[in-house]
Amino acid sequence: MDLTLKIWRQANATAKGKFETYTVKNISPDSSFLEMLDILNQQLIEDNIATPVCFDHDCREGICGMCGLYINGRAHGPDKGVTTCQLHMRKFKDGDTIVIEPWRAKPFPIIKDLVVDRTAFDKIIAAGGYVSVNTGGIPDANAIPISKKDADTAMDAAACIGCGACVASCKNASAMLFVAAKVSQFAHLPQGKVEAKERVKNMVSKMDEVGFGNCTNTGACEAECPKEISILHIAKLNREFFAAKIC
């Protein structure tokens, strides 16, 4: 496959960025998207064309959530339910032009090229996305009765990897799906109920403080989430928040 790549290049957070155009040839359809970028960077180094394109990655297995890129107007690209590192070049056609951008959100300032600073998510987690009470030793599996429905819902919420696709796909750069998933995974389990009120108030407050926008209710976050987190968790977040404010 021969491809034209239009990639956002930006030296740092304060520099003025722009798209640069590159071409890559003989890309295997079975290559992953990040492998294709590796090939491009090798080409840039060998031909002394430009400095390598900076992009974030780690596990390359869809686990860590670091590899988020905005590809042809979609978070993580044209495939559904996958991260950028799981996207393969067979989703594109020979001769295609691919536009590659970083996440676009004020709370995610660009570090360089396609790499953004997602420390804002860490701050939200630090505000309450954990259980701090002493729960004792590891209990037997059946020591704390939890309905299968609640257990499944909590596990679905816990699947969130914090990649930021929900923010990138929302026209208001809302982090509601991320925060909702982190609140919901504890709200459905007895271990999380002790600090439930403090957790939801602190996490929502921190979300607003770091500059994320309001929920648009368009469902774009759910559509682009690589782990397909349901927006029903946002409804759960709202119920938890209102209950915490009233009581």
**What digits encode the pLDDT tens for the residues 149-184?**
999 999 999 999 999 999 999 999 999 999 999 999
* Domains defined along the chain, listed by start: 3-101 (3.10.20.30), 118-246 (1.10.1060.10)
- What confidence score (pLDDT) does residue 161 get? 97
Q: For residue 49, what pLDDT band results from cuts at 50, 70 and 90? A: confident
Which alpha helices (DSSP H) does 137-175 contain, by range? Answer: 148-158, 165-169
Strands 74-75 and 70-71: antiparallel
Taking alpha carbons only, the member of 77, 129, 70, 72 closest to residue 105 is 70
Contact 76, 84 (CB under 8 A): yes
**What digits encode the pLDDT tens for the residues 74-84?**
999 999 999 99
Q: What share of the chain is helix, strand, coil (3-state, %, to 5)?
A: 40, 15, 50
pLDDT of 97 above 90 = yes
- DSSP letters for 195-239: THHHHHHHHHHHHHHTT-B----S-HHHHH-TT---THHHHHHHH
